[in-house]
Structure 1
Amino acid sequence: MEMNIDNNTPAPVHSTVQTENENGVDWQEELYQKIKSMKEMYLSDVNNLYEKIASEVQHSLPNDRIEKLKMLKMTLERIMLFLRLNKHDINLVQKEKLPSVEKHISFFLSGKNLHKPTSSPMQG
């Protein structure tokens, strides 16, 4: 446990956050701007994919396929919540999750045409 030099009391738990801010790095603002940019670029596509998957889950499909779709749907819900974060809700946990969220978005959107329902006609 870190000790405060002035009075030998334990240092506050959020001392890392203070240190980062003291060094002139406002990581929360940086992260918020990055999330805001991702939201503008991807939220609409992620939401559309979510709607397609939610629709597929409603149809009669083999159980293994429904379970996979439900897992995809939950992951997309989490991504959408992440993209809608307010600045004051951003903490170090979101900072750590950002690379994973970016990978998931890239994965889903690069393969989004693979997740269309089989009953839909192919679109040009």
Structure 2
Amino acid sequence: MKKLIICFFIPLLFISCYNEETGRKRSDFVLFEGYVALKKEYNGKRLLVIQDMTKEDIRRMSEDEILTYAAHHDSFLFYVHEKDYQKINVGQKIRVWYAPPVKESKILQVGAEKIQVIDK
């Protein structure tokens, strides 16, 4: 009976940790949470997400000020799919899962694997 239980639950555990869309395990992904500060359509659809910035900061700062701030704080420039780009607005708080490697520049850049809106 123990063998039957082990043979059933071990494959179930591996299946539950597998992401069918990307072919990767959940443990391969890193979570980043922050506010969408900018949306850009340059070399693809991109969202600038900054961790320690508020909606009020985003409203009062110019685009250049936001970019300067992002270069010195925890932030990512996420490449996103068209459907995600269309449904997400500047000022929303989101969670983004991504998988390394990350392109290093003034602002880290990586493709988003999954996005969840926290605050509309």
Q: What is the TM-score with the length of structure 1 in the denominator?
A: 0.23
Name the structure where helix makes up a greater proportion of residues. 1
Structure with a larger share of its residues in strand: 2
**Higher RCO by CA contacts (8 Å cutoff, separation 6 or greater):** 1
What TM-score comes out, normalization by structure 2 length?
0.23
